[in-house]
Amino acid sequence: FSGPFTDVVTTNLKLRNPSDRKVCFKVKTTAPRRYCVRPNSGIIDPGSSVIVSVMLQPFDYDPNEKSKHKFMVQTTYAPPNITDMEAVWKEAKPDELMDSKLRCVFEMPNENDKLNDIDASKSAPVLNTSKQDGPMPKAHSVSLNDTETRKLVEECKRLQAEIMKLTEDNRHLRDEGLRLRKVAHSDKSGSPTALALRDNGSNSLPSLLVVIAAIFIGFFLGKFIL
């Protein structure tokens, strides 16, 4: 029996009948006031078993006092057409009885065991917390990658809008150059060389801006793909 003994402590006995006949059993103890046995007697069929609960009542345990409590399990073959269990035990001959004796042992929990249980209960939440927090760094890195990707996509969209604007400005300047060329052709006093230089200057500026924008798009797209 394991303490503390401030409450009822229960120990189970398993009785098995290996024979091919019915067996009667009875459980006895040297301290009947200290124990409650259920069932304390009965019949076990051939090849069957029964569980007997032995309940120790609460008491003041003294570790210096040696236990003298003992149990005895008596068995005998059941006669045919049995009707009275008490008569069976009264009429049984000594050579027909079989008995097994058991001595009770009381044990108190070790102080080291108590400390180990306390340490285990304290360390368990820490282990659970580490398991829950384990995947967090990975989730954090995924969040950063998503943010960087979103920034690159937005930058590409902005650069594409810039290219469309520069293309529109280039077309507008080209139309303006054609108009000026027509005016210069109709104006005989104008200098053709000066008009040609002005047309080349106006056309080269948008082209240069388009090339620069294309370089930026290539850079950001390359970073996005990597």
Into how many domains does the chain fold?
Answer: 2
In a domain, 82, yes or no: yes
Residues 156, 81 share a domain: no
In a domain, 131, yes or no: no
Residue after which a domain boundary falls, among 71, 103, 135: 103
pLDDT for 74: 94
In a domain, 110, yes or no: no
In a domain, 75, yes or no: yes
pLDDT for 76: 94
Residues 91, 15 share a domain: yes
Cβ atoms within 10 Å of 50's Cβ, excluding its own: 16
Residues written for the chain: 226
In a domain, 34, yes or no: yes
Mean pLDDT of the chain: 74
In a domain, 173, yes or no: yes
Structural domain for 86, as ranges: 9-103
Q: What is the DSSP letter of 15?
A: E
Among 65, 97, 226, residue whose Cα is nearest residue 152: 226
Residues 155, 81 share a domain: no
Record the tokens describing residue 84, joined without a space: 């009275």
Q: Would the pLDDT of 141 be above 60?
A: no
In a domain, 41, yes or no: yes
**pLDDT tier at 16, thresholds 50, 70, 90:** very high
Q: CATH number, domain at 21?
A: 2.60.40.10
Over residues 140-152, the mean pLDDT reads: 60
pLDDT for 107: 85
End-to-end CA distance of the chain: 71
Q: pLDDT tens for residues 70-99?
A: 999 999 999 888 888 888 999 889 999 999
Contact (CB, 8 A) for 159 and 213: yes
Residues 77, 23 share a domain: yes
Contact (CB, 8 A) for 9 and 1: yes
pLDDT for 190: 52
The more confidently predicted of residues 110 and 36 is: 36
In a domain, 73, yes or no: yes
